[in-house]
Each structure stands twice: as structure tokens, then as C-alpha cells.
Structure 1
Amino acid sequence: MGSHAVPRHRRRLLLIPVGLLLVAGFLGIPRADGAPASADACRTAAVSLPRGDCGPFWQVLAEDFNGERVPLGGFSDCDHHTDTSAAYCGGLTGRYRDNWWAYPTGWLDTANSRGRAVAGVYHPEDTVSVGRAADGDGRMTVRMWRPADGGPVHSAAVVPRAVMQMRYGKFSARIRVSRLAPGYKSAWLHYGGGCELDNPEGEWTGTLNAFSHPCGGGAQGSYPGTDDWTRWHTVSTEWTPGSVRFFVDGRETGHDTRGVPDIPLSWVLQNESALEGPGAAPGSSAQLDITWVAAYAYGWK
């Protein structure tokens, strides 16, 4: 099932090698080096951040987190113009303030409306940071945790401002769970107007899936992607008029044409307490790493 937040007071161009590898990528045939040819519009099968326009999509965000550092505490004071393209976090500065927002402290995560014994409250100020990993790679880190006294999970949902309230587009990221514990999940989604697209979604101890919930109701489309969140994966959603396609590591995992949204929606990188299985144990924590995020508008300028 898809999910969405419940506020407390209301509900770089990828440099593809020339020659045979380039031809193979565009023809969709296997590459000579054994790597799978990508099926998505940008041929996003490599590990590097893709840069530049591709197919019917033009790039509006290319973030590899290799710039300034954002320590814990930076994603604070986020209750400004919430859920609009003017939203911002007062604790951020520079390009991160320009490019990123997060659900404010105190908003309730989805588990609260599902009657779960263990639910969460959004706390971006003590869960989200940006910095260098041990190997020098820049990453956004989402470390969710539950207090030792058994209080609510501290969860996090971050939002790229460049694609807030945008109709159609392509949305890609490279992610992995680097610390695993029961009781934590992701549901990266577009939601609103009775419509919902989720990719990826799932408890981190389970499988990585995609879902489409047709506007106006009807059976959801459910598409398994991979069974291991702890490996690096590139996930992509391509949303165009009358069609949505989901991809994992360049492989198309699902396609739906039923009730596809045709209204502006925001891309929410939502991470929260689990909706299935055991709840997070007191004193536990789990961590998601994001090494790059790319987003595209639909249709040429």
C-alpha cells in the first residue's frame, strides 16, 4: 500500500562511452561488458549521476551531495509555506536552502493513521544530514531512530524543491540501506487528488517495490523490484501523460496506464516507521544513504 504524511494539525550528463557501448545502450541490447542495457529514457544503468537532458525529459536537478556539508540540525525550522513550492527550512543555508525542504518537526508519519503500536513523528533536524562517507563520496544520510525510552520513531521526509507541484517528469536516485533494523521503511511518492505513485516502497528488511494507485480508485498496481535494500540500487520513475513506468537498476519493473495523475504533484522522499511486521525496538536505529538525486521536467523547453 502507498502512504503519505499526516501533519499534526491536519492530516552531471552521464558520459556514456562511445562506440559499441553507446549503440548497445540505445538499441537496448546487452552490453559487451556484461552490464544490462538500461530501458529507461536516460539509459541510467551506471552508478554515476546522470547529467543533461534525455528523451522527452529536461533536467532540473542534478545533486551528488559533493558540495557543502549539512550537519544534523540543518534541516530545522521547516514550517514555512509547507507543501508549496515556496516551502523552505530556516536552518538551511546556500543551495541546500534553495533546493531542499523537509516535512516539519511534529508532523505525524503514516503509521499513526494505521493504528500501529509503534508509529513515528517527523524530526528532520536529528535524522537528516549531508556529508562525505569514508571513501570521500558525498551523501545525504537519513538515520531514523527510536528513543531508548520507547517513544515514537524519529522519521524523515525530504523534498526536492525544484520538482514541487510539477506535472509529469522523471525522478531518479541511487540509494542503499547501510544500517538495517526491523521497523523502518521508505515510500518515495507522488501523492494527491486521490492519486498515488510509489517507487521505491517497502520495509527495509523486506523487498523494494513500486506501486501505482489509480486516480479515482481501483486495484493498485504492484511491482516487485529487488529483494535487498542493503545493496546500492538506482531507482527511477517516468511519469508522462497517461503512463507511468518504474525502473530498478535500468530494468523496467512495472508499467501502468490506469488513472495516471494529470495534476501537479510533489516528489517526496519519505522514510518512516514500518506499516508491516514488527515495530522498531526501543533504542534501535536504521540508516538510508543517498549518493545522488536527479529530476527532470517533461517536454522540451
Structure 2
Amino acid sequence: MRRILTTAALAAGLLLAGLTAPTAEAAPTWHLRYADGFNTAVAKGRFTDCDHNHDTKAAYCGGLSGSVRAAWWAYPKGWPDTATQWHYPVGGYYDPATTLWISGGQLHIRMWRGASGPVHSAVVVPKALMGQRYGRYEERWRVSKAEVGYKSAHLLWPVADADCRNCEIDFPEGNWAGSVNGYAHHRNSIGGDQDAYDARVRWSDWHTTVISWEPGSVTLTIDGRTVGHSITAVPDKAMSWDIQNETALEGASPKPNTSAQMDIEYVKAWSWS
């Protein structure tokens, strides 16, 4: 008959043998902070009047109502995207009313360019996650209509740049017609140094991406596979999760009368204990 040792007896035996008893598994370090499966429909044209208390948890879009207004903010109409700020030949301006809506359990982001003029870009921000120091950020998405000249840079961005110069974590990032990439920018680097990773997948398939940002460590995963891990000058100040979609910064510019669309099935985020 097999002899069953009690925990105390096992520990005593290990001590006599000069070994250490096994310890209990460490408690989880993540606590679910926010989740949204986009089950409340919002018609296109309702993400309006967003220039209220911007970049704070008190920000809101006056055209929204109920739980969506309480949970989400969008960059206001007329704010320039990165390509415009960098004086590219074709840039964009954020225009939430014409680019954002929720239906069928998904947040839809459709950027577009008319016969001439700028791109209409979109950034949405979950307010519960503004100003969080460390965290785990997960989303499931696909680009259902790809087009040259449109991109994403879903990023963690510092609340105060003066507190954390060049702090930035981007994933997923890249042109929608290319490959999915990720970047971990080094804290307070003079030349904007960063660790760069190629996930080697296309935007047109459904993917689940995760940013895990811990003290001294950034890990990027896609569909359960680690594509990047950085321990170099990891940001240590509060940041917000900006789900940014805009004019591409590499390759050809968006052609006139084109559009491209991303669908997001859910977002989840955890705080660090």
C-alpha cells in the first residue's frame, strides 16, 4: 500500500535531507479593471461633441448616452493625426462622428478619404484605464477592409510627457496593408530608442493582442504567442490606452475616394497589484 505523507511530514523529511519544502504558488498580480463586449449599439454619427475635459477621466462625448458615454471618449473632431502633425503630403484629422459606431457586438472603425483633402481618422479611449501605472491590455480585432495608407498604433501613452519622456508602448501597430508590429520605447531615451518586433501576421485575420506592462518588463503577445519582450528602460509612469487609427506614416499615401475598416470584438484590461 502506498504511503501518503502529510504536508508536515513531507516538509520535515525535506529538511532532514537538506532540501526546501515547496511553497504555495504566488497570488495573481492582475486584477480585472475593465471589459467591454460592445453589446450596446451606437449609430454612426453619435460620437460627437467630444471636446470636453479631454485627456481626463471626466472627458466625454456629448452625442453619446448611458453606459457608452460613461465608458468611452474619442479624440474630438479636428484634432490632427500624426501624419498631419509631421507635415506629410497627405495627413488626417480625427472625426469620430463619421468613423465610429457599434453594432453586432463590435466596435467599428472606418477611416476614409474623399475625392480630395485629408483622411478622417479615429482614436477611442476607455476612460477607466486613463492614468494607470502598469497593467495588462487585451483586445480582439481584425481589419475587415484593408487599404494602402491607413494604419493603427494602439498604444500606451504617458499622462504627462514631462514625467516620462519618450515613454510609449505600441501594439498592434503598422499599415493595415502590411504586417502587424509592436514597439517598446525606452524611457527617457534621447534618440527615441525602442525595441521593435514583427508579429509576422496580417491584419485581415482575427487576432487577440495583449500588452503586459509590469515593473521593469513589457511583453507583447498575439493569439497566445509571445512576439516581443523588453526589459530595457521600461516606462514607470502612469499612461493611458489610446486605441489610435490614422494615416500611415510609411509607404504610399491613401488614395482619394478610399476607405479602410477595423472591427474590435472586445477589450479587457487588468491593473497591476
Return the TM-score normalized by structure 1.
0.78
Work out the CA distance in 2 between the residues paired with 1:55 and 1:62: 18
Deviation at 1:249, TM superposition (A): 0.5
The residue identity in structure 2 corresponding to 1:159 is: V
Cross-structure match for 2:112: 145
8 Å CA contact retained: 1:79, 1:88: yes
* Residue number among 40, 53, 57 corresponding to 2:30 in the alignment: 57
Work out the CA distance in 1 between the residues paired with 2:97 and 2:72: 13
**Which secondary structure state, in structure 2, belongs to the residue aligned with residue 112 of structure 1?**
helix
**Which secondary structure state, in structure 2, belongs to the residue aligned with residue 73 of structure 1?**
coil
Cross-structure match for 2:98: 126
Deviation at 1:180, TM superposition (A): 1.1
* Residue number among 152, 164, 181 corresponding to 1:186 in the alignment: 152
**Pairwise CA RMSD of aligned residues?**
1.1
Cross-structure match for 1:232: 206
Cross-structure match for 2:55: 83
Deviation at 1:240, TM superposition (A): 0.8
2:174 is the counterpart of 1:202: yes
**Which secondary structure state, in structure 1, belongs to the residue aligned with residue 106 of structure 2?**
strand
**Which secondary structure state, in structure 2, belongs to the residue aligned with residue 142 of structure 1?**
strand
CA deviations over 1:99-146 (Å, ceiling 9, x no partner): 1001111100000132311100000111000001xxxxx100000000
Work out the CA distance in 1 between the residues paired with 2:58 and 2:238: 15
Work out the CA distance in 1 between the residues paired with 2:123 and 2:256: 21
The residue identity in structure 1 corresponding to 2:177 is: T
Structure 2: gaps of 5 or more residues = 1-26, 159-163
The residue identity in structure 2 corresponding to 1:245 is: T
Cross-structure match for 2:229: 255
* Residue number among 63, 75, 83 corresponding to 1:103 in the alignment: 75
Cross-structure match for 1:22: none
* Residue number among 156, 180, 193 corresponding to 1:219 in the alignment: 193
Which structure carries more strand by proportion? 2
2:131 is the counterpart of 1:158: no
CA deviations over 1:142-181 (Å, ceiling 9, x no partner): 0000012x11000000001110111110000001000111
Deviation at 1:263, TM superposition (A): 1.0
2:210 is the counterpart of 1:243: no
**Which secondary structure state, in structure 2, belongs to the residue aligned with residue 266 of structure 1?**
strand
CA deviations over 1:184-216 (Å, ceiling 9, x no partner): 000001123321100000000011011011111
Work out the CA distance in 1 between the residues paired with 2:198 and 2:63: 37
Work out the CA distance in 2 between the residues paired with 1:240 and 1:85: 22
Work out the CA distance in 1 between the residues paired with 2:75 and 2:188: 26
Cross-structure match for 1:177: 143
Work out the CA distance in 2 between the residues paired with 1:55 and 1:179: 38
8 Å CA contact retained: 1:114, 1:275: no
Work out the CA distance in 1 between the residues paired with 2:225 and 2:201: 14
**Which secondary structure state, in structure 1, belongs to the residue aligned with residue 239 of structure 2?**
coil
* Residue number among 242, 256, 266 corresponding to 1:282 in the alignment: 256
Return the TM-score normalized by structure 2.
0.85
Larger radius of gyration: 2
**Which secondary structure state, in structure 2, belongs to the residue aligned with residue 95 of structure 1?**
helix
2:59 is the counterpart of 1:92: no
Deviation at 1:55, TM superposition (A): 2.9
Deviation at 1:284, TM superposition (A): 0.3
Deviates more, 1:110-119 or 1:227-236: 110-119
**Which secondary structure state, in structure 2, belongs to the residue aligned with residue 162 of structure 1?**
helix
CA deviations over 1:272-294 (Å, ceiling 9, x no partner): 00100111111100000000100
